[in-house]
Amino acid sequence: MSAAPQRAKAGAEKIEVIVSAVLPLNDLVTRFEFKRKDGNRFPTFSAGAHTVVHMRDGDRQRLNPYSLMSDPADTETYAISVRRDDEGRGGSLFMHNNVKVGDAMEITYPVNLFSLDLRAKKHVFLAGGIGITPFMAMIAQLERSSDSWELHYSVRTEALGTYVDQLVSKYPNKVRIYYDDQSQSINLENLLDGQPLGTNVYVCGPKGMIDWVHKTAAAAGWPDANVHSEEFTAPQPGKEFQVRLCRSEKTITVGENESLLEAMEREGVDAPFLCRGGACGQCETNVVSSDGEFIHRDHWLEPDEHGNKIMPCVSRFIGKSLEIDR
């Protein structure tokens, strides 16, 4: 993964948008469409990119990353599909319950941590549930360039099969749906066997699915470079802890239900970030001193960095004292 660009201010540049459509797709998933407030066109994005949506929830600011799932060539409208998570930290619930057509919001410029390898001779997509979203954009991009692809999409039930009808009717020979409640599952070993040289596999779904794909592909002799995955980790709640920010000369308390990054932002500290899900590396922060235990939840740091670095977007700390270089 390459380093994200260094910027003067935290996060990717923002775009002011108006919510142009709110379309419930099923019991759990709703699509939100945005147009630019200034009437201009959006930048084109590369399929697989996400945007961080800024939500103003009372006096609390929520920032959640969502994959852009609209056609990357459509610069009139950006669309995301949000799965409601009743047990989550509230961002998706806020989107579902509070966001209405005509609302003004801010989203960031697209950032891509899950891009297509366009040297590939063929692209095989493996989606689990709401993991379908980046593939919607990838499929649109590859259809335009007439590249070879196929999608294997695992959903819980027919009723919860987001975009299943659309995909199956448009691409009947390229899409296969697997229904959990009918005990159907992707036969991965079989699927990987015999793929042409230069095939790339992409997986987006629950962590277990991602690990399973990496492991099975490696055992079948697939190079790591041909297996791509994206997983955003939502910050998990945890015990309250104190942290000294030595550059800002502040000592702050990270509450039970907020991340270290969110606590710094609440205190007005301009901390860098891009994905807010432990994947991009942008918020990496040096630990100056610590007496206690880290709870590392990111996909970025190497194990040997765990003592002297922390990713404030998803990771926490339990112990006596923590001082970080921010």
**Pairing outcome for strands 149-155 and 122-128:** parallel
Q: How far apart are CA 282 and CA 284, in angstroms?
A: 6
Q: How far apart are CA 72 and CA 68, in angstroms?
A: 8
193 lies in the site for other proteins, by CB under 8 A: yes
DSSP symbols for 201-221: EEEES-HHHHHHHHHHHHHTT
3 lies in the site for other proteins, by CB under 8 A: no
223 lies in the site for other proteins, by CB under 8 A: yes
Question: Which is closer to other proteins, CB of 13 or CB of 193?
Answer: 193
75 lies in the site for other proteins, by CB under 8 A: no
From the CB of 205, what's the least distance to other proteins, in Å? 21
1 lies in the site for other proteins, by CB under 8 A: no
Q: Count Cβ atoms below 10 Å from residue 238 Cβ, excluding itself.
A: 19
226 lies in the site for other proteins, by CB under 8 A: yes
139 lies in the site for other proteins, by CB under 8 A: no
Q: Count Cβ atoms below 10 Å from residue 53 Cβ, excluding itself.
A: 23
Query: What separation in angstroms does the CA of 55 have from each of 91, 107, 119, 272, 280?
Result: 8, 9, 37, 18, 21
Question: Which is closer to other proteins, CB of 126 or CB of 254?
Answer: 126
From the CB of 197, what's the least distance to other proteins, in Å? 5
118 lies in the site for other proteins, by CB under 8 A: no
Q: Which one of 102-110, 119-127, 232-240, 257-265 is the stretch in contact with other proteins (CB under 8 A)? A: 119-127
Residues within the interface to other proteins (CB under 8 A):
119-121, 192-199, 218-226
